[in-house]
Structure 1
C-alpha cells in the first residue's frame, strides 16, 4: 500500500513586533521569526514594528488580514501584564475563531523553560478571514518556544494528523 505523498506548501507570512522600544537594529525577536520562517521554506511578505497601541496594532493586522497574499501573521510582544501590553485586546476582536490550544500549549512548553513565570504570558492565536495569527511574548526565547514547539509544525502541510495549512488561503 502506497502512502499519499504530501508536498511542503510554503506560506506567505508577515511579522509584527509590538514594542515601544524596539527598532530594526535591535529587534532580535522579530528577526528570529523572519529567519525561522524563511529557513522553514516560507516567504516573508512584510515586517513591521509598532508601538503598544491597540488601534495601531489592530490597523496593521486588519490590513494584512484583508490581503489575499498573506496566509499567516506572527506577532511578538505586547502579551504581558504591564499597563502598555495590549496585543491580545487588539487582535481578539478580529478573530473569527480563536485557537485556545495555542496559548495553553505555549504555556505548557514555556513552563519547562521558565517555570511559573509562564503564567504571565498571554500568548494567543486565532483565525481572521482565513489567516492564522499567532501572538507570542516579546523575548527571543519565547519566539523560539512558539516557533519550534508549535508553529513550525502547524504551518507544515506534511505534519500529521492535522495542521493549519488546510484552513488558510493558499
Structure 2
C-alpha cells in the first residue's frame, strides 16, 4: 500500500506553473494559485509562473524553455485540456514529450470520476517527460487542480512516498541523452 516513509528525507523539487487562458491574469488566476499554494505548502519551490493564451506554439515554446532550464524539475500547466477548438494545451505538451506518462491521465480520470462522475471524460489531462523534466497538463478549474495535486502529485513528487515516486527516478530521466 502507498505510504510516506519517514526514514527518508524530503527532497524539494523546483516547479514551474503555467496557466493557459485567453482571459485570465495573475490577479484572477485561481487555478494557478491553487497549484502555487499547494506546492509551496508541501515544501517545494516555485521556479516560475506564467500565463499564456491558448496558442499551441507559444505554449510549446514556453515548455521547451523550462525543459532547457536546469532550475525547473517539473512543469504544471492548468487550462486548455478540454474539447473545444481553443483547447490546445495537450497538443502543445505532446509536441515536446519524449515519453508520455499514459497512466497519469487514467489515474486523473479515476480521481475525477469520484468527484464529478462521467463529466470526467471531458478532460484530457496528460503527463510526460522531456529533457529530464516532468510535465503535467491539468484542467483549468481550481477543483481539478486540487484533485490532481492532493490525490496524485503530492505523493508522486515526494521522495518519501512508497512504494515508488517520480522524484527518486529524476536523475535517470535523461540518461538516454548521456549514452554513447
TM-score in terms of structure 2 length? 0.90
Post-superposition Cα deviations, 1:69-120, rounded to whole Å, max 9, x if no partner, equal 1100110000000110001100112111111111000001101111111100
For the 8 Å contact 1:78–1:86, the answer to whether it is kept is yes
Structure 2 Cα separation of the partners of residues 139 and 129 of structure 1: 28
Mind listing any 5+ residue stretches in structure 2 that lack a counterpart? 173-180
1:168 CA displacement: 2.3
RMSD of aligned alpha carbons: 1.4
Structure 2 Cα separation of the partners of residues 23 and 101 of structure 1: 31
Residues 1:4 and 1:22: Cα distance change in structure 2 (over 3 Å): closer
Give the count of matched residue pairs: 168
1:5 CA displacement: 2.4
Q: Which residue is equivalent to 1:15?
A: 17
Post-superposition Cα deviations, 1:107-144, rounded to whole Å, max 9, x if no partner, equal 01101111111100000000111111111100000000
1:59 to 61, 82, 86: 61
Post-superposition Cα deviations, 1:49-83, rounded to whole Å, max 9, x if no partner, equal 00000000001100000011110011000000011
Aligned pairs (5 A) from 1:1-170: 5-169=7-171
For the 8 Å contact 1:68–1:169, the answer to whether it is kept is no
Mind listing any 5+ residue stretches in structure 1 that lack a counterpart? none
For the 8 Å contact 1:156–1:165, the answer to whether it is kept is yes
For the 8 Å contact 2:6–2:160, the answer to whether it is kept is no
SS of 2:161's equivalent? coil
TM-score in terms of structure 1 length? 0.96
